[in-house]
Amino acid sequence: MRNQSNVWTIVRKEFARFFGDRSLLFTTVIMPGLLIYIVYLQMGENIGKSHQDDNEDTTTVYVDNLPESLRGDFDSIPFQLVTEGFNAVALIGDSLADKERSLIYVNFPPHFDSLITAYDPMGGEAAPNVKIYHNSNSDNSELAYQTVKLYLEDWENSRSNMFDINAESPDAEETFDMADKDDSLGEILGQLFPMLLMMLLFSGCMAVAPTAIAGEKERGTIATLLVTPMRRSELAIGKILSLSTFAMLSGLSSFLGIILSLPRMLKGDGVDIDIAIPYTTGDYLLILCVLISTVLVLVSCISILSALAKDVKSAGTMVLPLMLVVMFVGFTPMLGGDAPEALTAYLVPFYNSVQSMASIFSFDLKPAAVGITVAANIAYTAIAVFVLTRMFNSEKVMFGK
Amino acid sequence: MDEILRVEGISKTFTLSKKQQKIERTTLRKKVAVDNLSFTANRGEIFGLLGPNGAGKTTTLRILATLIKPDTGDAVLDGYSVVNEEEEVRSRIAFLTSELKLEDFFTPNYLFDFFARLHGVPEAEAAERKRTLFERFGIDKFAEVKVKNLSTGMKQKASIVISLAHNPDIIIFDEPTNGLDVLTARSVTDFLAEMRQQGKTIILSTHIFSLVEKLCDRVGIIIDGRMTHCDTLDAIRDGLSLEDRFFEIYKTVKGGEE
Ligand SMILES: Nc1ncnc2c1ncn2[C@@H]1O[C@H](COP(=O)(O)OP(=O)(O)OP(=O)(O)O)[C@@H](O)[C@H]1O
Ligand SMILES: [Mg+2]
C-alpha cells in the first residue's frame, strides 16, 4: 500500500514538472510534431508548385504517325499535342537539344495498328518500336516523356489483356488489384514505419530521460530523495513510468505530424495513391501495445545509462552506441525478407519491436510473435527496474566522483 | 542521560581517481576519510563535530544519514542501525548539507507537501506543520516562488523547513552557517537552539569555533578522520578559549606524527 502511494507521489511530481514547464512541454511534445508537419507540408507544396509551373508553360508533344487506336489516349494527355505540320529533323536536331524548351517527339512506325495486330511474338522478328525523343535535362521534357511512356505501357498491357483467353471478370480483377495495392503499400509502410517510430521514440526518450536522471544527479536533487524512507525501487518505478509517458507523447506527436502531412505531401507529388491507410482498429491497438512496451525498454536502458553518467552531457555520449544499435535494428525490415518465423527471435529486445511492427504494418500479423514481444519487453523493464534500484542503492554510482 | 546516538568504530576509505589524487596532492590510491571513529550523543543536546578541512566531518555525517555505508563499524540512531535499518533511520532524521539540493523548478510550498507525502505524514498534520514552520521562518512571503529564484539565505531556510516536514527527532546539519550572511546565520543558530528546547537532538559539523562555543553542549574534535577528544564543551576548553585549546590539541596530534 505504502509502496503504491510513493510511486504515485513520484509520478505526480514528475508530471507536475513536465506539464508545468511550458518550454519543456513545447520542445519535447509540441514542437517535434509541429515541425515535421510544417516541413513536410512545405515540401509537398513546393513539389506541387513546381508541377504547376510546368503546366503553365505547356510542354508540346509532337507525334508522327499517331495510330487511330491511340488517338483518344493522346488527346487526353495534359500536354499540347501536335500531329502534323512540323519538321521532325529540326526537332531532333535543334529544338530538343535546347533544355529550355519543353517538348518531346514521338515517332510511331507507319501503320502501327496493323503492325501490332500482325506481330507474332514467337516469330523471332523484332517487335515494332516506338521512339520517344526527349531531353532528360529539361524537367518538362522528362515529365512528358515519363507520362507518355506510362500511357503507352498501360496501353500495351491492356492490349495483351485483350488477347488473354481466360480473362477474369472485370470485377474480380478489380478486387485483385485492390489487394495488390494494399500489399505494396503495406510493404512500404512495413519497412518505413518501424524504423521511423523507433527513431522518434528514441529521440523522445533522449529528450526526457537524461535530464531526469543524470540531471538530478548532477544537480544534487536526487540525493535529497535518497534520504527519505522511500524505497529505491519506488523511485525507479516512478521514474520509468513517468518518463515513458513523456517519451511516448513526444514520439506520438512526431508520428502524428508525419501521418497528418503524408496525404497532403503525396498529393502534392502528383501521385494519386489512396491514402485511406487500410489498418483496422485492432492493428492500431496492437501497434500501440508494441510501442508502449518498446518505450518502457528504451526508457529503462537510457535511464540506466544516465544513472551511470555523472552529468547530462556524458549521458548523451554514453547513449550514442545504443542509438546506433536501435537505428541499425530499425533498418532490418528494409534488408528484405519477411519477419522471422521462429518465436524465439521475438525475445531479442528492439529487434522484436521492429519486426512485430513490420509484420503488423505489412498485413502479415503474427499474434504469438506480438504477444511474446510485449511480454518480453515488460520482463526486460522489470529487470531494468531491479538494476536501477540497485544503482540508486549504490553509493559508487550515486555519489562516486 | 538518555543516549540517542552511538557511533561505534566507523571507518571509511575512498579510492581516489587520478584527478582526485592531483587535488589531494598525493600518489596514494586510497584516502582514509574516517578512521575508527566512535562517539555518543544524548537526546536533547547539540553535539558539534569540530575539525579542519578534510578532517572527515561531512563523511561522518553522510554515514549517519545513510547516504553512504561505513567500511567497518556501525552507528545506532534511536535504536536503529545505519547499516541495516536505513529506512527506519531515514524516517527519524533530517539531513542538511550543501550536497542535497531542492529542485529548482518547484516552490517551497510544493516541495514541503511532496516530502511530507514521501515521509507518510498525514495530510492535516503536514498542513498544520507547514503553516507553523513557514510562519516561523518567514517563508510565507516566498512560498510560491520557484526555488531557482530564491536567494541563498531563502534557499537555506526552505531546505531547513522542508527537511522538518516529518518532524524528525534528530537533525544532522553539515556546516549550518556556511555561505550565509550574519542575519541569516543568526536566524539559523536561533532556530537550532529552539529545536534543542523542543527536545530535539542536533548533530552538527563545523570548523567555526564561535558557533561551537555558542551552541554546542558537547564537542568531538576530529583530525585526520580520528576523534581525538570528545567531551562537554567546558571539559574540552579546560579553561582556555576553544580556539587556543584546539591549536594545542592540533599541535600534539600533528607533532606526534612527525
Ligand atoms: N567521494 C569521495 N571520494 C574520494 N575522496 C573523498 C570522497 N569524499 C570525501 N573524500 C575525502 O575524504 C576526506 C574527508 O572529507 P570530508 O568531506 O569528510 O571532510 P570535511 O571534514 O567535511 O572537510 P570540509 O571542512 O572541507 O568540509 C577528504 O580528504 C576528502 O577529499
Ligand atoms: Mg565538509
pLDDT tier at A391, thresholds 50, 70, 90: very high
Inter-chain touch A395–B106, beta carbons under 8 Å: no
Say whether B90 and A228 touch across the interface (CB within 8 A).
yes
Classify A176 in phi/psi space as left (phi over 0), alpha (psi -120 to 50) or beta.
alpha
> B25-62: b or e for each residue (b if 16 or more CB lie within 10 Å)?
eeeeeebbbbbebebbbeebbbbbbbbeeebbbbbbbb
The label of the residue with cell 562555543 reads: B213
Q: Which atom of ligand 1 is nearest to the CA of B49?
A: 21
Integer Cα distance of A331 and A335 in angstroms: 7
Average pLDDT, whole number, for chain B?
93
Q: Name the helix (H) or strand (E) containing B35.
A: strand B30-42
Structurally, chain A folds into a number of domains equal to 3
Which structural domain, as residue segments, surrounds residue A218? 182-399
Please tell me if the CB atom of residue B33 comes closer than 6 angstroms to any atom of ligand 1: yes
Residues A273 and A380 grouped into a single domain: yes
Shared-domain flag, residues A224 and A344: yes
Report, in angstroms and rounded to the nearest whole number, the Rg of chain B calculated over CA atoms. 19
> For chain B, what are the domain ranges?
3-92+169-257, 108-168
Residues A87 and A165 occupy one common structural domain: yes
Both A194 and A328 in one domain: the answer is yes
Q: What is the pLDDT of residues B182-207, one digit of tens each?
A: 999 999 999 999 999 999 999 999 99
Measured in Å, residue A233 CA sits from the centre of ligand 2 at: 29
Confidence of residue B256 (pLDDT cuts 50, 70, 90): low
Q: Are residues A30 and A111 in the same domain?
A: no
Q: State how far the Cα of A100 lies from the Cα of A90, in Å rounded to an integer.
A: 16
What is B3-92+169-257's CATH superfamily? P-loop containing nucleotide triphosphate hydrolases (3.40.50.300)
Are B174 and B61 spatial neighbours (Cβ–Cβ below 8 Å)? yes
Same domain, A69 and A191: no
Ligand 1 atom nearest the C-alpha of A399 is 1
In this structure, the answer to whether residues A272 and A302 fall within a common structural domain is yes
Residue A170 confidence class, pLDDT cut points 50, 70, 90: very low
Does A52 share its domain with A75? no
Nearest CA to ligand 1 atom 28: B54
* Ligand lying closest to the C-alpha of residue B208: 1
| Residue A62: strand, helix, or coil | strand
Q: How far apart are the first and last CA of chain B?
A: 39
**B114: contact with A, CB 8 A cutoff:** yes
Tally of residues, chain A: 401
> Which pLDDT value is given to residue A227?
94
pLDDT surpassing 50 at residue A243: yes
Vertex A302 angle, CA A298 and A308, to 5°? 155
0.80 cut: is pTM over it? no
Kindly report the backbone phi and psi dihedral angles of residue B6, in degrees, each rounded to the nearest multiple of 5, phi listed first: -130, 115
Q: Do A212 and A274 belong to one domain?
A: yes
CB contacts, 8 Å: B115 with chain A: 228
Q: Out of B69, B95, B114, name the one closest to residue A9 (CB).
A: B114
When mean pLDDT is compared across A17-31, A44-58, B146-160, the lowest value belongs to A44-58
| Ligand 1 mutation pick, B57, B69, B246, max ligand atoms within 8 A of CB | B57
What's the number of CA atoms in the CB half-sphere (13 Å) around residue B245? 20
H or E element at residue B231: strand B226-232
